[in-house]
Structures are given as C-alpha cells and as structure tokens.
Amino acid sequence: MSDRNTPLPLFDRKLVGPACLEALKKLAPQAQWKNPVMFVVYVGSILTTALWLQAVMFDEHAAPGFSLAITAWLWFTVLFANFAEALAEGRSKAQASTLRGMKHKTIAKVLQEPHYGSNWLPREADDLRKETVVLVETGDVIPLDGEVIEGVASVDESAITGESAPVIRESGGDFSSVTGGTRVLSDWLVVRVSVNAGESFLDRMISMVEGAKRRKTPNEIALTILLIGLTIVFLLVVVTLAPFSAFAVSASGTGQAVSVTALIALLVCLIPTTIGGLLSAIGVAGMSRMMQANVIATSGRAVEAAGDVDVLLLDKTGTITLGNRQASSFLPGEGTSERALAEAAQLASLEDETPEGRSIAVLAKTRFNLRQHEMATLNPMFIPFTAQTRMSGVDLTGDSGPRVIRKGAGQAIRKHIESLGGRWPEDIQLKMDEIARRGSTPLVVAENAVVLGVVELKDIVKGGIKERFAQLRRMGIKTVMITGDNRLTAAAIAAEAGVDDFLAEATPEAKLAMIRSYQSAGQLVAMTGDGTNDAPALAQADVAVAMNTGTQAAKEAGNMVDLDSNPTKLLEIVETGKQLLMTRGSLTTFSIANDVAKYFAILPAMFVTTYPQLAILNVMGLASPQSAILSAVIFNALIIVFLIPLALKGVRYRALGASALLNRNLLVYGLGGLVVPFAGIKLIDILLLATHLV
C-alpha cells in the first residue's frame, strides 16, 4: 500500500483528463441543482446564451460580441467549479481503485467444527456469512474480517497498513482481530468471520474513500445555507436594479437602461461563487488527506468534528510514554545489599520474556556483571505472572535449602510475605512511595519471608510530546492522560509530559463517565482505543479513533480507524480536521472580500452613462464599461482555477489560538481578497484593451 501512502500530485495528468470529462457530465441539471450558488450561475449562463442567440438571429443592429464573451465566461465559471469537484473526487477514486486492486477472489477453508483439526470444505469468500468459522494456514489469504478464536500466527498486513513488518495475531486479548485481504505468513489461525461478504473493512474503506458518496457535514450544510441567503439577497438587489435603471434613464433623458446580460454578470460576480464552486472540493479533499495519513473516517462529520475538538483523551502507554517500562535502579531494604537484590531479581526474571523482565536481567548484568546462573542443580520451578496473583518468580532447591523468590506489585508481595508469617518493612513502603512520586513503577522482590528491596521501573516519556501538548494548549485544546497507574505515578508522569489533567486507575466506567461529563459541558471529546473494554467510551466520544490491530468491537464503536495503529495519530487527526475547517473558513473569507473590487468595476460601468458622476468610482481606471464588466466576469471565473490547488492541499496548519488564527485569516485572506481582485481585474482590462477584444 505504499502507493496510497504517497501523496498524490495536485494535478496528476492521469486525473486531469477524466476530471475534464466529468466536469462536462456535471452540466446536467440534476447535478447542478445540488449546489445552489452555482445553480444560479448555471441558470444565468442559459439565459445569456438565449439572449445572445436572440440577438444573432433576430436583431440586425445588435453587436453580439459582448454578449458572447459574457456567456462564454459564465459557462467557464460553471465548468471550472465542476472541474474542481471532479478533480477532488478523481483523487479519491484513484485511492479507491488502489484499494479495489487488493481484492482477490479467495477460497476459504470452512471448518465443519469450530476448532483446529476439524474437517473443512472449500467455499468462495463471497459466499461466506457472519459467524462462519474458517481455517487460515501458511500462505492463505484471510477471506473476511473476523476474530481469532484459536491459534497464533504471523500476518502480513502491508496491503492494508503499508507497513512491511508482519504482525502477530492470536486468540484472546486486544490483538485477535484480523482483516480480510491480509495474508498468513506462518502457522495457522481459526477465525470466526464477523461480517457478511461485501461488508468487510476493505469494502467499507472503498465506500468511504470515494468522494461521490460523501455526505455533507453539518458545518458544510450551515455554510451552504449562509451562501444561499447571500445569493437570495443579491438576487433581490439585482432584480430591483432593472426597473431603477429604466426609471433613471427616463427621468434624466440620458444614457441607456442596463441590459439583462449586464445584470446577470453583476449577479454572478456578487454572489459567493468562489467558495460556492470550491466548497464540495474542499470537503472531498479533506477526506482524501485523512486517507493519506492512513486513517479511514466513516464520514466527513468525523473529520470535521476532529477540527472542533476541545478535549483529547490519550492513553499513557504507547502514546505519552514509549510503552515499555525499563528497570532503572535497585533499591535494597535494610540488611540487604544492592548486589543481593539484583541477583534475586535476575533469578526471578530468567523466564520472564516481558520487556520489564528482560530489562531487569540486563540491568543486573550491566551493574554487577551477573551472568546467567547454572540452574540445573537448583531444580528451578518458574512461577509465571498472572493477573490474579500479580507476581511471578522461581522456586529453587539446593544445598543451602529452598529459596522462594517472588517479584511483583507491592500489595501482592505484602500479602505473600504476611501469609508466610513475615513482616512488611516500613522502609520498603517509603521507597515505593518515593518511586511513585517520581512517576516510576515500584516492583518488590522477596525471598522466602523476607523483603529484599524494590526495583524501579521507569516509564520513558516520548521526546517532543511535551511541546506538542503545549501547541494543543495554545489552540485551546485540553489534554487528559488515561492510565491504570495509581494517582501518585499518574501525577508524576502527567507533570513530566505536560498534560492538563489525568485519570488514574482508569476503568471502562470511569472513562465513559469522564467523556459524558465533558460533553454535558458542551465540549467535543476525542479519544483512542483498541480493546473491547474501550468500546463503550469510543461509542460515546465525538471523535473515536480505533486501532486497526484492536478488536472488532473497538473498530465498530469508533468513527475512525487508524491503519498504522499508532495512538499518537490522534494529534495528527486533530490537525487534519482543523486544516479542513481553516481551509473552508479562509476561502469563504477570500470569496466574500473579493466582491468589493467588483462593486468598483461593474456598478460604475452599468450606470455611468446615466450618471456621469459615478466615473469617480472607477478607481482602477478601466478602459470602458464593457471592458469593466467583462474583466470582472473573467476574474470571477479564473480565480476558481487559481484556488483549486489550495482547496485540494489545504491551508497550512499552524498551532495557534483561535483569536490568532482569526487575525491571521483576516490579514491574509481578508486583505488578500480585497487587494488581489483590484490587481487582477486591472490586468485583465489591460490585456483586453491590448488585444482589441472590447
């Protein structure tokens, strides 16, 4: 999927041709009426065409050149708007075509009994239904999305995620979800299909990516209503100008009434055609940019909500910290040497394959040069870690007598010591509290009924994460860290990372309650999750990003899926959503601001023959009334073309506060919208005069 991760060029030659053809197809009335602003331009183009034909066919004294020029550029205005939308949709369809290329006809091995070793029958993947149990072995393609109910295997998900490194999928836990279209590289899996044929994640991706199926978001609908209101106002104004012009000519006895063609040109130039022509393209391009970030959004509503987020809920592990706690120091208790503590901790960690266990063995070896023990003579019996006991260790028998070594959480070791008749030392509790205040995790080591000391496991906060949280704070977004750690540990890590708040000892109920609390205060909440226990909170959050490696329940509860399964992607999603809103707001500001120059171009030109005093408003020094009107119409059409790249690429994102963004927006696009049309219309007027077209 590397092709999908590579940003598409703004004007790919392969897309321009189909977009031009699609722009012509969109001239059909049933396509035009979906955009009310451009529909007015469409109707105006038809009227000026009819007026030009009437002048050519029935008026011998008419000079139809001006009417023809106005008519042609009005049609160009409609076509340029169609082209912008078609090009954005073409980019999305190109991404969808890449996804379709991943779909292959697959034969599934349907098990007669839901367990490994049962007989199986071949069946096409298109015939599978939900709850069917299939066997997937080395080299097989997983036919449809599902949950692993037995087995463990290495799976190539590069077709979906773009990452070449294989991943492990196994039954149980948060890594049991598999995606149709991926391939098993080793071992086998028994998978219970969780969707019907045609409803797989890949099918949904294709449907979501295609811009033609995009629904308008609430913000876009509200802006459309505003644009319609402005169009109606200007339509009423222009309609009243016709009788006013006739009355003025009759009263003054000079000049001539304004033609219908000139009135239509005025209407088209005054209504917000720039943003009206680009609005749909902006929305489609926003979905496309999210896809290029390897995030699938179920709707434009989710992308838009990401730009309005007030609160971010972030998991500590893997998002704020690197994810693997590392042993950093040995803190012995009274009467125990640091070396003795390190040796016991190493013995208890020899069969511990967790990152924490391996780091303890490495620290002991590095600090005291402790090598792997000769265990055969000690008759070791290793005790694995369980969620119930919350500790692990080893039982040894040798010449010096039995040794029962345990390491684990403080409370678990305390219960173990007290059950053996031992005493819990006060200095150990003090050391644990001190470690917790530093944001680290204490791991207690005991031998028989004696507590030897504490191993400090340190969470490493990711580099640069504090600066990113500071940027979000400047934007008015509150960050909340969610962790299962105790409050002391959570408070220390939160302070080091620079988050605004934290939720310690988090449970599904606590996360859900926190989200509802923020929402009841009128705030939009975003969060990430990958487990079934995250599903309730994901379903409640306004922007819910599920990890692709997570469970099916999490992916169904979320309104976005991160194909890279990177929890920090939530920050990028918020930036993409804000970029969409900034682009829409910036181009709306520009569109409304550039109407001012058109007042100074068209209005004096229309009424100067009746009221010569209006010539003072011709601040641009335009050559003639006809040149002024035609220059404004041409600029109105061409500006859409020049703004297409900005609509597709988006306004550059800057982590600034709302007031700073507003001021910058008004300065760049408001002032730019005032200045650029004056220069553009004057330049077009000079070219028209030089080429003797008017």
Q: What is the largest CA-CA distance in the chain?
A: 126
Q: Is 391 helix (H, G, I), strand (E, B) or coil?
A: strand
Residue 662 exposed, middle or buried by CB count within 10 Å (0-12, 13-18, 19+): middle
Within 300-442, where are the H helices?
Answer: 300-307, 338-349, 355-368, 410-419, 426-437
Set 140, 156, 203, 315: catalytic member? 315
> Are the C-beta atoms of residues 343 and 445 closer than 8 Å to each other?
no
Within 650-670, where are the H helices?
Answer: 658-665
Spatial distance between the Cα atoms of 43 and 457, rounded to a whole number of angstroms: 71
Phi first, then psi, for residue 363 (nearest 5°) are -65, -40
DSSP 122: E
> Are the C-beta atoms of residues 28 and 51 closer than 8 Å to each other?
no
Q: 467, 528, 85, 506: which is closest to 306 by C-alpha? A: 528
Q: 187, 189, 112: which is closest to 144 by C-alpha? A: 189
Spatial distance between the Cα atoms of 630 and 605, rounded to a whole number of angstroms: 10
DSSP letters along 608-671, please? TTT-GGGGGG-TT--S-HHHHHHHHHHHHHHHHHHHHHHHHH-PPP----HHHHHHHHIIIIIH
Spatial distance between the Cα atoms of 203 and 180, rounded to a whole number of angstroms: 9
Spatial distance between the Cα atoms of 27 and 649, rounded to a whole number of angstroms: 25
Q: Pull the structure tokens for residue 222.
A: 């509200």
Could you write out the three-class secondary structure of 32-68? HCCCHHHHHHHHHHHHHHHHHHHHHHHCCCCCCHHHH
Within 129-217, where are the H helices?
Answer: 158-161, 201-209
Q: Is 315 a catalytic residue?
A: yes
CA 650, chain centre distance (Å) = 14
> Are the C-beta atoms of residues 112 and 309 closer than 8 Å to each other?
no
Spatial distance between the Cα atoms of 366 and 336, rounded to a whole number of angstroms: 19
Rg (the chain; Cα; Å): 34
Report in angstroms the alpha-carbon separations of 26 from 35, 42, 47, 81, 234. 11, 11, 18, 10, 25
> Are the C-beta atoms of residues 370 and 342 closer than 8 Å to each other?
yes
Spatial distance between the Cα atoms of 283 and 62, rounded to a whole number of angstroms: 44
Q: 357, 359, 339, 337: which is closest to 348 by C-alpha? A: 357
Instruction: Please work out, in degrees rounded to the nearest 5, the angle formed at the alpha carbon of residue 260 by the alpha carbons of 257 and 266.
Output: 100
> Which residues are annotated as catalytic?
315
